[in-house]
Amino acid sequence: MADFTDIMALIPTLRGHLVDGDGAEGAQAAMLLMADAEVVRVLHESSNLITQVEQIQVAAAGVIAVRSKREHGHSGLSASLGHKSAASLIQDVTGSTKAEANRKERVGEAMLDDEPLRDDSIEDAAKTGDDKAPEERALSECLAAGPWYQPLRDALRQGRLASAQFDVIRRGLGELPEVGDGADSEPVDAAVAAEARRAAHAAWGQAAEHLIDEATERTVEELWQAARTIRDLLDPEGAQERFLARFERRSFRTYRDQDGRKRASVVFEDEGEVFLETLMAAALRPRRGGPRFVDPDEKVAAASLVDDPRTNDQLAYDLIMDVLRAGALADAESVFGTRQAGVRLVQTVDAEGRTAPVALTEDGLMSMPGAVADQHACSTGYVPVTVDGGGNPLNVGREQRLFTAKQRIALAIRDGGCRWRGCDRPASYGEAHHIDEWERDRGRTDIDRGILLCRYHHMTLHHGGWRITRDGTDDFTLHHSSGERFAMRPRAVLRYAFGDIDPPPKRFRPAA
């Protein structure tokens, strides 16, 4: 087995700083003498090494999972070694958590699974040989190239994805929609079913490619949410069914722990989840790194909250109790300040007035059925914002120094949150930044010259030698004084929502 020195020799930047026999302590001592850039390179190189080792682990986990399937009984691999499941064996060997072991098993099996993704009607149509319709031949070619998640497999093998990223994208995008007999449709012609399945196969594969491209800039949690939302945008009929299924699973349960203390367990449905998050953000934003406040009274209240000796968890508990006590008579301003909690949804409407069947939450870009947006519009109204195909809103002009409330809504719709590379702060935490300085460049308070940044990255930009440029309505570009530059691309979810990515046919369960 390789010792520590052998492993360190695989990290180029560290290799030249070590002598034979050096262990972890020697490596740490060497890094303390390195320049900042060298230490960051060591982290990059060791991460790449871990990714390659993890590929081997995942492959082994997949084989173990296949050899431990239930049909093998007590002669299965895991059972023969005294484990009740493959995940239990993987956890025992690797020392990982149960969740990590389950993930390795899922990813390993997905890397091995080559069953053709076709239903009986497509299989029957495929038996006609040279008489296949063009759409059936196209489907056969798709299936021959592998399952729709083949791009994820390739990216994992090439080191462009970690197994955790593979897993959340694969599970978030889910399975291809059912083709054929739907609840409200007649039996479907085999050729029509083949075309629908081919379109779905291509659309899901394209979505996987887009999310792979985003993986370097998004957290695993963001990738999960983006995959789930894109799935709903591609399959709005299924989105409604999944929304209702999650609604049915909602629950609130109280119980006492072993010390006799009352505890609670909550399973949220989608709208309740978003409402709770916006409620917490509205009340605790100053403690969570939210935007700086201009209003003097609000500024004082924010400072008071920052100085409060209670922990964030204690503040959240007290907030929930205050809201429960006040109920429908709660004085929103005294509880939340000027930023009252609420759920804001974004729903696109085309030039002919047709509304999209799926809406997005302004914070988090979480998908909701169009019926939820209709319900909100009926009860609380809406703010119309005209945008182009890239989500760029119309300009307002240079009437004032600060962006107006409606302009901030437009920025939130277009940006979806902080646009800084790798940042996951939602739109409500964003500060509107003029990419052209107001005084120096006579910068306009126009939406196309503004961008949302969280408080931390807004301050980083102004104090860290960064600047942002934009050519017309193209992507924003982040520049550093050192010469580094990064594209500040819009989130893939928004590209789907605004039509920058041409969606496939909206129904994958075709009627006859």
- Between 300 and 269, residue with greater pLDDT: 269
Look at residue 171 and tell me whether its pLDDT is greater than 90: yes
Terminal Cα-to-Cα distance of the chain (whole angstroms): 62
Rounded to an integer, the average pLDDT of 44-69 is: 90
Domain that holds residue 155: 119-248
- Residue 87: what pLDDT? 93
Q: Are 430 and 415 in contact (CB under 8 A)?
A: yes
Rounded to an integer, the average pLDDT of 22-47 is: 87
HSE, side-chain direction, 13 A CA sphere, residue 317:
7
Among 55, 83, 111, identify where a domain stops.
Answer: 111
Alpha carbons 43 and 45: distance in angstroms, whole number: 6
**Residue 432: inside a domain:** yes
Same domain, 129 and 161: yes
Look at residue 265 and tell me whether its pLDDT is greater than 90: yes
Alpha carbons 183 and 177: distance in angstroms, whole number: 13
- Between 494 and 510, residue with greater pLDDT: 494
Among 207, 224, 248, identify where a domain stops.
Answer: 248
Among 229, 248, 267, identify where a domain stops.
Answer: 248
Look at residue 345 and tell me whether its pLDDT is greater than 70: yes
- Residue 119: what pLDDT? 41
Domain count, the chain: 3
Same domain, 91 and 187: no
Give tens-digit pLDDT for 122-157. 444 444 445 555 655 655 666 666 889 999 999 998
HSE, side-chain direction, 13 A CA sphere, residue 59:
9
Q: Are 233 and 367 in contact (CB under 8 A)?
A: yes
**Residue 16: inside a domain:** no
- Residue 308: what pLDDT? 77
Of the listed ranges 184-198, 270-284, 336-350, 395-409, the one predicted with least confidence: 395-409
Eight-state DSSP code of residue 349: B
**Residue 423: inside a domain:** yes
Give tens-digit pLDDT for 70-121. 888 888 999 999 998 999 999 999 998 999 999 999 999 999 865 443 344 4
Alpha carbons 384 and 351: distance in angstroms, whole number: 13
Of the listed ranges 201-210, 237-246, 340-349, 363-372, the one predicted with least confidence: 340-349
Eight-state DSSP code of residue 188: P
The most confident of the ranges 243-247, 326-330, 429-433, 448-452 is 243-247
- Residue 295: what pLDDT? 63
| Angstrom distances, CA of residue 366 to CA of 149, 251, 278, 352 | 22, 20, 13, 25
Pair of tokens at residue 372:
């939820």
DSSP-assigned beta bridge partners for residue 434: 450
Say which residues have a Cβ less than 8 Å from residue 292's Cβ, sequence separation at least 6.
299, 431, 455
Of the listed ranges 29-33, 216-220, 350-354, the one predicted with least confidence: 350-354
Alpha carbons 304 and 300: distance in angstroms, whole number: 6
- Residue 122: what pLDDT? 40
Pair of tokens at residue 6:
């052998």
Look at residue 245 and tell me whether its pLDDT is greater than 70: yes
Same domain, 132 and 182: yes
- Residue 366: what pLDDT? 83
Same domain, 127 and 237: yes
- Between 309 and 221, residue with greater pLDDT: 221
**Residue 139: inside a domain:** yes
Alpha carbons 206 and 199: distance in angstroms, whole number: 10
Look at residue 212 and tell me whether its pLDDT is greater than 70: yes
**Residue 287: inside a domain:** no
170 band by pLDDT with thresholds 50, 70 and 90? very high
- Residue 19: what pLDDT? 66
Same domain, 123 and 66: no
Same domain, 85 and 179: no
Same domain, 70 and 188: no
Nearest partner of 425 among 218, 216, 198, 214, judged by Cα: 218
Same domain, 231 and 142: yes
Alpha carbons 438 and 115: distance in angstroms, whole number: 60
Same domain, 59 and 79: yes
Give tens-digit pLDDT for 440-477. 555 556 778 888 888 788 878 877 888 899 888 788 99
8 band by pLDDT with thresholds 50, 70 and 90? confident
**Residue 7: inside a domain:** no
Say which residues have a Cβ less than 8 Å from residue 399's Cβ, sequence separation at least 6.
445
- Residue 267: what pLDDT? 94
Same domain, 193 and 104: no
Look at residue 332 and tell me whether its pLDDT is greater than 60: no
* Residue 432 dihedral angles phi and psi, to the nearest 5°: -80, 120
Same domain, 127 and 239: yes
Rounded to an integer, the average pLDDT of 294-321 is: 77
